[in-house]
A and B are shown apart, each in its own frame.
Chain A
Amino acid sequence: MALLEVRDLKTHFRTDDGIVKAVDGVSFSIEKGQTLGIVGESGSGKSVTCLTIMGLNPKRNTISSGEAIFKGENLLAMSSSRLRDIRGNDIAMIFQDPMTSLNPVHRIGAQLVEAIQLHRDVTKRQARARALELLNAVGIPRAERRIDDYPHQFSGGMRQRVMIAMALVNDPDLLIADEPTTALDVTTQAQILTLMTDLQKDFGSAIIIITHDLGVIAEVADDVVVMYAAKVAEHAPVDNLFKRPHHPYTWGLLGSLPRLDADVERLVQIRGQPPSLLNPPRGCRFHPRCPYVMGICKTVEPELLPAGDEADHVQACHLDVATKDREAAKVLAGTMAEAS
Chain B
Amino acid sequence: MVRYLARRVIWAAVLFIAVTLVAYVLFFLIPNDPAKLVAGKAATDADVKRAAHFLGTDRPFYVQYAKFLDRLVIHQNLGFSFANRQSVNSIVGNAAPVTASLVFGGAIFWMLLALPIGILSALRPRSLLDRASMTFVLIGISAHPIWIGLIFAYFFGFKLGWTPITGYCDFINPSTDCGGPVQWAYHLVLPWATFAILFAALYVRMIRANVLDTMNEDYVRTARSKGAPEHLVLRSHILRNAMLPVVTMLGMDISLALGGAVFTETVYSLPGLGKTAIFGLNNNDIPTVEGVIVFATLAIIVFNLVVDLLYAWIDPRIRLT
Contacts and interface: CB of A to CB of B under 8 A. Distances in A.
B53 interface: no
Given A150-B316, A150-B317, A152-B317, A102 B226 contact: no
24 contacts: A54-B225, A56-B221, A56-B225, A81-B229, A86-B227, A87-B227, A88-B226, A93-B225, A95-B221, A101-B218, A101-B221, A102-B222, A103-B222, A103-B237, A104-B219, A105-B240, A105-B241, A114-B228, A114-B236, A118-B226, A118-B227, A118-B228, A119-B227, A150-B317
B226 A103 contact: no
B315 interface: yes
A101 B224 contact: no
Q: Which 4 A-B pairs have the closest CB atoms?
A: A88-B227, A88-B226, A87-B227, A100-B218
B213 interface: no
Contacts of B316: 104-105, 107, 150, 152
Contact of B241 (A54, A95, A103, A114): A103
B74 to A, nearest CB: 45
Given A103-B237, A105-B316, A166 B226 contact: yes
Contacts of B315: 104-105
Interface of B: 217-219, 221-229, 236-237, 240-241, 244, 314-317
Contacts of A54: 225
Interface residues of A, number: 29
Interface string A201-234: 0000000000000000000000000000000000
A112 to B, nearest CB: 10
Contacts, number: 75
A23 interface: no
A97 B222 CA distance: 11
Contact of B225 (A81, A88, A150): A88
B222 A101 contact: yes
A199 B47 CA distance: 95
Nearest to A98: B218
A89 B221 CA distance: 15
B227 A95 contact: no
Contacts of A106: 236, 240
Contacts of A95: 218, 221-222, 225
B226 A114 contact: yes
A101 B226 contact: no
A84 interface: yes
A103 B217 CA distance: 9
B124 to A, nearest CB: 9
Given A56-B221, A95-B221, A100-B219, A105 B227 contact: no
Given A102-B219, A105-B314, A85 B225 contact: no
